Amino acid sequence: MMSIRVALLTLLAAGSVAVNQQEAASANPIRKVVNMLQMMQKKITAEGEKEQKLFDNFMCYCKNGDEALAKSISDAEAKVPAVSSDIEEAEATVAQLKADLKSHQTDRAAAKSAMAEASNIRAKEAAAFSSMKAELDANIAALAKATAAIEKGMSGSFLQTGAAEVLRKLVLAQNNLGDFDREELTVFLSGKEDYAPQSGQITGILKQMHDTMNAELAEATSAENTAIKTYDELMAAKTKEVDALTASIEEKMVRLGSLQVEIVEMKEDLDDTQKALVEDKKFLADLDKNCALKTKENEENQKMRSEELLALADTIKILNDDDALELFKKTLPGSASFIQMQTNIADQQRQALAVVQAAKRNGRPELNFLALALSGKKVDFSKVIKMIDEMVVTLKAEQQDDNDKKEYCETQFDLADDKKKGLERGVSNLETTIEKEKEAIAALTSEIAALGAGIKALDKSVAEATEQRKEENEEYTELMASDKAAKEILGFAKNRLNKFYNPKLYKAPATPTLAQVNLHDASQVAPPPPPATAAAFSKKSEEGNGVIAMIDLLVADLTKEMTEAKATEKNAQEDYETAMSDAAEKRAQDTKTLADKEKAKAEAEASKEANTEEKAATTKTLMATLEYIQSLHAECDWLLQYFEVRKEARSGEIESLKTAKAVLSGADFSLLETSHRSLRGA
């Protein structure tokens, strides 16, 4: 009774953790305990049934063990090194693929970085060329207008235009213009009334400047075109490189995912084989002892399980007792006892907050070193800036590693999920196919049985008809022979009567007939005739003719009977032959149909067996894929969950470091300027 109470308290404590607060506040705690006890009963019963099946399989081993175990051990001993070798080879390939993937990802990131850098440079070069070209175009246009105006003698009106102002700025900014030429142009553009320019000289200077700027513009345009061509070639080459690396990354990720699933399968197979080998050897070493031990263990397990089920049943009976329920209502109002055992949510929150705060204080060691470097009395800004640059490079490398890892994880999740869905569809389709094949096999079995029974019944009918036809033919043959013999005897009798009563109608036989022989034989065996009498004999002609007429009637009846019998026999034989032909045709057709259905059944059974094996293999691959997906979750979930947070934090660190570098660089310059001023002041 005490053990039941302890178990009850344990179940109450476990049940209080499993339910939420709202359910705990409204549910009946005793009912929960009873439900849990009933669930335990079902679970124990199910475990017992499962254990009994395992025990039955084990006892089957005991009956047929030696030969099967020896073969199993031999096969396993040959399989273990082969599978181990395959695993080592596959793992080496996985390592190589991961190294190749890392190299490809690094190369692709470098190519993309080079493309971005080249694009930035090209944009700056294009902007510079555009600005330079606009300026040169404006200057060349101004020079052309000035030259045309001077040549037409309209220099005064030209000086009032915007082109003259552009030309003034150009003259002042030209470094390669001689002092004399600059002075001449400056005086000309100033528009002084007392200045009498030499038009030819001014025009020559302007044309020389015009030619020089045209040459500069042509040179700049050529350089720009060359830069554009170089940029396009670089971008095309880098794009091709990125595409090739991306294709290689995708292809190797697919291979990597498939290979890792295969490794999981092979390891599971190896582990199962090794365990089976150990168990088989151990089992074979002492088969009888193990069988007896397992039998004893099974009996003890059944006994313990029965006692456990009895204890649970007694406990349920105790808790469901009316008096106990009344007592529980008084002592356990609602589910307050359950609520008291709930973990205090506020305490959990405070503990979690303390853990988070402690984690926030654990910064990067590099930042700690940087803080130490900056907190010293003598600070070498160049070293600090170098440390910042190195940290920025490290942070970017870490971010690139996260990017590569994220790409790998997302790709592998997609590939593995697609494979899982395909395998699940395959298993479902195979189950449907197997069920259809089972139904087809059952239908074919029934049809084969019906055909076999039909053929057997047909053979029986043929045999019975043949036997009947044989009997009818024998009866016909016997009838014809009898009727023929009777007709011959009657003819002989009629002829014999005619010999006496109608001598003219008598026909002397050439050879003794069958009737004569029979009569002769009969006379030989007949008793001796009575003694002759002396009375006179007189012919009974009328009576004799009457007998002859009677004989004729008998012969006619026999002839008619023979004719009818012959026709009946002919019809019966024809009907028999037709029936036999139809039966033979039907039997041949049924036999062919039977053979076809037996072949179809054999094919269906073979297909069912193949599909069953394929389903088992597909299920095994599916289990390995699910295990691989689980390993991916263990490897990738944390990164995928906090990727954006890590990226944002890392970006913030980089920006902070860049700001610190900018600040330090400004402080460095101000320090140099202060030092320079102090030296000048001295």
pLDDT at 677: 41
Which of left, alpha, beta for 16 (phi over 0: left; psi -120 to 50: alpha)? alpha
Give the tens place of pLDDT for each residue, 336-350. 444 444 444 334 333
Cα dihedral: 426, 429, 434, 437 (round 10): -130
Does 75 have pLDDT greater than 60? yes
Around 376, how many Cα atoms within 13 Å sit in the side-chain half-sphere?
11
Give the single-character DSSP code of 361. T
How far is the C-alpha of 324 from the C-alpha of 338, rounded, in Å?
19
When pLDDT is cut at 50, 70 and 90, the band that residue 119 belongs to is very high
Give the tens place of pLDDT for each residue, 565-582. 989 988 988 888 898 889
pLDDT at 141: 78
Q: Which residue in the block uniquely carries the two structure tokens 């007429």?
A: 549
Fill in the amino acid letter for 321.
D
Looking at mean pLDDT, say which of 55-69, 218-232, 292-306 comes out highest. 218-232
When pLDDT is cut at 50, 70 and 90, the band that residue 121 belongs to is very high
Contact partners, residue 281, CB within 8 Å, separation at least 6: 73
pLDDT at 639: 83
Give the single-character DSSP code of 363. -
For residue 265, CA distances in Å to 430, 577, 593, 619 come to: 21, 69, 45, 11
Could you write out the three-class secondary structure of 23-83?
HHHHCCHHHHHHHHHHHHHHHHHHHHHHHHHHHHHHHHHHHCHHHHHHHHHHHHHHHHHHH
pLDDT at 22: 44
Contact partners, residue 359, CB within 8 Å, separation at least 6: none
User: Buried b / exposed e across 487-507, counting CB within 10 Å, b at 16+?
Assistant: bbbbbbbbbebbeebeeeeee
pLDDT at 173: 64
Burial (CB count <10 Å: 0-12, 13-18, 19+), residue 396? middle
pLDDT at 278: 85
How is 488-550 classified by DSSP, letter by letter? HHHHHHHHHHHHHH-GGG----SS--HHHHHHHHHHHHSPPPPPP--SPP---HHHHHHHHHH
For residue 34, CA distances in Å to 16, 141, 324, 372 come to: 14, 102, 13, 65
pLDDT at 1: 39
94 touches 263 (CB < 8 A): yes
Other Cβ atoms less than 10 A from the Cβ of 295: the count is: 14
How far is the C-alpha of 607 from the C-alpha of 507, rounded, in Å?
87
Lowest-pLDDT range, 64-68, 202-206, 363-367, 534-538?
534-538
Could you write out the three-class secondary structure of 429-483?
HHHHHHHHHHHHHHHHHHHHHHHHHHHHHHHHHHHHHHHHHHHHHHHHHHHHHHH
Does 533 have pLDDT greater than 90? no
Q: Which residue in the block uniquely carries the two structure tokens 């300027």?
A: 673
Burial (CB count <10 Å: 0-12, 13-18, 19+), residue 521? exposed
pLDDT at 162: 62
Does 222 have pLDDT greater than 80? yes
How far is the C-alpha of 282 from the C-alpha of 482, rounded, in Å?
90
When pLDDT is cut at 50, 70 and 90, the band that residue 76 belongs to is confident
How far is the C-alpha of 618 from the C-alpha of 424, rounded, in Å?
8
Helix axes 65-151, 162-173, angle to 10 degrees: 110
Q: Which residue in the block uniquely carries the two structure tokens 């001014």?
A: 202
Mean pLDDT of 16-37: 56
318 touches 37 (CB < 8 A): no
Does 195 have pLDDT greater than 50? no
Rg (CA), the chain: 60
Mean pLDDT of 106-133: 90
Give the tens place of pLDDT for each residue, 454-507. 988 988 888 988 999 889 898 889 888 888 888 788 787 778 777 767 788 778
Average pLDDT, the chain: 74
Tokens of 596: 């076809």
When pLDDT is cut at 50, 70 and 90, the band that residue 168 belongs to is low
pLDDT at 207: 76
Give the tens place of pLDDT for each residue, 638-667. 888 888 888 888 787 777 777 766 666 654
How far is the C-alpha of 101 from the C-alpha of 245, rounded, in Å?
9
Does 444 have pLDDT greater than 50? yes
Give the single-character DSSP code of 378. S
pLDDT at 309: 82
pLDDT at 661: 65
Q: Is the pTM of this model over 0.85?
A: no
What class does CATH assign to 388-508+543-681? mainly alpha
Contact partners, residue 75, CB within 8 Å, separation at least 6: none
Tokens of 366: 């590099």
Give the tens place of pLDDT for each residue, 367-420. 545 545 545 445 455 676 777 788 778 878 888 888 888 888 888 888 888 888
Does 527 have pLDDT greater than 60? no
How far is the C-alpha of 163 from the C-alpha of 142, rounded, in Å?
5
pLDDT at 256: 84
First to last CA, the chain: 103
Domain boundaries, the chain: 2-63+286-362, 72-277, 388-508+543-681
